[in-house]
Structure 1
Amino acid sequence: MTHSEIPERMRASVLLGTRELAIEERPVPKPAADEVLVRVGAVGVCGSDVHYFREGRIGDFVVDAPLVLGHEVGGVIVAVGEHVDPARVGHRVAIEPQRPCGRCRECRIGKYNLCPDMEFYATPPIDGAFTEFVTIQSAFAHDVPDSVTDEAAALLEPLSVAITSVRKAGIVPGSTVLIAGAGPIGIITAQTARAFGAGEVIVSDLVEARRERALQYGATRVIDPRTENPADLDVPIDAFIDASGAAPAVQSGIRAVRPAGTAVLVGLGNPEMTLPVEDIQNREITVTGIFRYTETWPVAIQLVANGQVDLDSLVTGRFGLDEVEQALESDTDPDSLKSVVYPAR
């Protein structure tokens, strides 16, 4: 696409209120000096998009004005700002959907995910990618090889969540990890744990079909927490990663961790829950959360390009821009794992 072929207007799916979407025509954004303009090829549907659609908020993040959802993005660069190498035009990229300030303490120490002035796609008031074109700083548009599809490029974002979780869990070759929840993040985390060398990956989920699916994606063993207590497993659990957000799963998972092990909380659940403090204290368990990611895209690209993590087969639903509502509601189907929106479809 040459500069002269870039349209002046584009279509966007806009969240106007709770469960209220509309297609709007908007100007195609102009890239700032350090930005690139990306024609969006594929956008994954995330649980946070669903929360904003159904509830209008996630914790302190409240949708109080029209908002474009979608932050898992793959596409191609079609224009660049004046400070960006023009040779980048035509490059296929995966977008790291954030813009930190680069000046605060968190940014200076390399924790830019915690920047208090972060601008993050599809987080009020920053628009996301359920649209035809988006801009992003050039450094946050990561080149992907042709062996990585647009869908996989988009899903490098949830893979980045999994990489951050596995890093925080301290997974090394031979580790035993327990993962609660066999939804998209749990499934991707199971694959990532295996790629990092985990010797045993145990996945817990209430739904039999999801447990069976986990066995196809990295899990070496699955359990039904209603009939098998994770704390009674016959192997020491080095790390527990919660991808469910369910208080019972968090509590039992922490109790299952060996002394001096680690519990990482990833799932979106209740803002407050009771934790087994005595277990945490007496066995010196490290309990931590994660908030997005830093410096994960290069690793994610390699894991996919090398075939260590399979993202393409996770896609169970494909939707056009006029079908965003169906995409956001697709999680009600027990067979759904990951839905993708194609704005140009």
Structure 2
Amino acid sequence: MSASDEDHMAQALLLARRGLGTTWPNPSVGAIVVAPSGEVLGRGWTAPGGRPHAEAIALEHAGAASAGATLYVTLEPCAHAGGRGPACADAVAKARLARAVIALRDPDPRTDGGGVARLLEAGIEVREGVLAEEACAVSLGHFMRVSEGRPAVVLKLAVGSDGLVPKGNGAPVWITGPDARAHAHLLRARCDAIMVGRGTILADNPSLTCRLPGMACRSPVRVVLDRRLRTPPESQIFDDLMVPVWLVCAADEEHPNTDALQDRGAEIVAVPVDEHGLLALRDVLETLAHRGLTRVLVEGGPSVARALLDADLIDEAVIYRGPEPAGAEALKPFVTEGLDRLTGSGHFTQVQSRAFGQDRMTWFRRKARCSPVLSPT
């Protein structure tokens, strides 16, 4: 007995997750070609840098056996040709598939239903909306970049049993154990960039790289919010020249440290300030999206977390809670407010909870972010 459409789409989603953090500016997509017997003929996920696409890889693996088979793909095949290959919808049509099962339509105006139309014109039966909600979670960054012009924002917090954030003193202070910290590094690997404020650089002097064994190459772009460009050039963040550092500063201001920071490998990104003279966070995120980023992990301090929450710019929050209190000098996660500011707001829903030894991870997602694309058609 062949597996159900949902089972095969779940496999395609696992493949799509493999590419997260490596495919920007394109979304990470997973695809599987399945014969009528249920045999998997080909698998693929978006290659690093965004090309080739998942469908092209899966179809190449399947070869001539694709005729009469079913394609399972987590996002509608693109209807626009890129610089390194034809439109995926045309490649799928040429393969003479019998069916195509698609989790979500692509909101990119260059496709947005055009890929489905081409498949139907080629006589391919199309089923849409299979595991759409799960696919939306994988493609959230792409949807946010297309619909709101900014990347998806994932806030990461590590707190003690008292719900407070430990205060750094020139080096990182761990409140959770090694397993929880390893999971946090996996988050880094699955995001295009990690963003902090200058205060985090001063307090913790972090490297902000992915330090899982064999995954250093998956380290995301390091983004530092530094309005006046006062990040010390000797900071550890500049020691790894293979991972980009983008310093986001205020436009139309003099920055005497520019040359010294550029000598250390930093790229300077200027953005407008708001009415309070602070970096305009929506403009920051729109600038990052314009540069191709789709998912940004925020590990900044309470000030950055509160500013993003106040501006309604947090899409997901991952909270790690250790078994011991953070201490008398600990900080509230949102400057003057505790975790309830987010978890009790009614705007987020808990989607996952997991133990790592004595530590507990809870994952929250902003409600209704992808609601227009969740209804099967």
TM-score by length of 1: 0.28
TM-score by length of 2: 0.26
Give the number of the structure whose residues are more often strand, by fraction: 1
